[in-house]
Amino acid sequence: MQRSDGRAPDQLRPVSFELDVAPHASGSVVVAMGNTRVICAAMIEDSVPRWMKEQNVTGGWLTAEYSMLPYSTAPRKQRDVTRGKLDGRSTEIQRLIGRSLRAVLNLEKLGPRTMWIDCDVLQADGGTRTAAITGASVAVAIACGRLLEEKRIAELPMRSLVGAVSAGILDGNALVDLDYAEDKAVSVDLNLVATESGELVEVQASGEEATFTQTQLDQMLALGHNGIVQLIAQQRAVLERFQITVQ
């Protein structure tokens, strides 16, 4: 099956990482996956949430915030602050980003500090949550590398890089890395978060007014794993510029 943009079913959209775009952040990147662009930044506070102190939880913490900027879509998306509340989708996605990064971070080695991950969608064309996780992984690696360089920590706390990609079933065919038009048309939608070695962090799969078979699920997972291996290879390539090696 050939897709509207000419890609093969197992082919990712063009991916790029632009580093150090936010001068006040410890690590930042603009990640582009096709026409989807997200700025991801990591900032560090030398304190932990109150609940950690109250419950005598040692180590540090990582948390994330996610938003789609008004000009990221057409028509304009109203800001959450204007609406007076965070919408359910944004809440779900920022919790997913936080879980995904905490899964590969040794919070004890981070020490008594909080790492804030801010992901803001500049342009949306499908896969904003997966792009945010993939970009945030790079931002966190850079921030951890700088903590180590500044001798604020003794060891790199990041155990492995993490990537994320979407997949789906369209006209009976499994596809990876859906753009917005495909995402609207698929009968099954899946988001996969995993490490380079194939360890799963999260799998989100649902039928869009449809059911799917075990075989289709296996096809989407296989495409997703292959896509994540490619994404993490590109993460490693850009991190070499900072002489940061994550196992």
- For residue 38, pLDDT over 80 is answered with yes
163 vs 132: CA distance, rounded Å: 9
Phi, psi at 33, each rounded to 5° = -125, 100
Residues 117-167: tens digit of each pLDDT: 999 999 999 999 999 999 999 999 999 999 999 999 999 999 999 999 999
C-beta of residue 141 within 8 angstroms of C-beta of residue 239: yes
- For residue 2, pLDDT over 80 is answered with no
Residues 78-126: tens digit of each pLDDT: 887 777 777 888 999 999 999 999 999 999 999 999 999 999 999 999 9
- For residue 13, pLDDT over 70 is answered with yes
Chain centroid to CA 192? 10
230 vs 104: CA distance, rounded Å: 18
Per-residue pLDDT, 247: 67
- Tokens representing 130? 């997966």
CB contact burial 187-221 (16+ within 10 A = b; e otherwise)? bbbbbbbbbbeeeebeeebeeeeeebeeebbebbb
Which residues have C-beta within 8 Å of that of residue 151, sequence separation ≥ 6?
none
Q: What is the mean pLDDT of the chain?
A: 94
Domains in the chain, CATH or no CATH each = 15-242 (3.30.230.70)
3-class secondary structure, 53? helix
Residues 112-121: tens digit of each pLDDT: 999 999 999 9
**% of the chain exceeding 90 in pLDDT:** 87
Model confidence, pTM = 0.95
- For residue 1, pLDDT over 80 is answered with no
Cis status, amide bond into 75, omega within 30 of 0: yes
Residues 211-222: tens digit of each pLDDT: 999 999 999 999
Per-residue pLDDT, 45: 96
Which residues have C-beta within 8 Å of that of residue 222, sequence separation ≥ 6?
none
Per-residue pLDDT, 209: 84
Neighbours of 143 (CB within 10 A): 26
Q: Angle at CA 6, nearest 5°, toward 135 and 33?
A: 10
Q: What is the mean pLDDT of residues 186-201?
A: 95
Kindly calculate the radius of gyration of the chain based on its CA atoms and give it in whole angstroms.
18
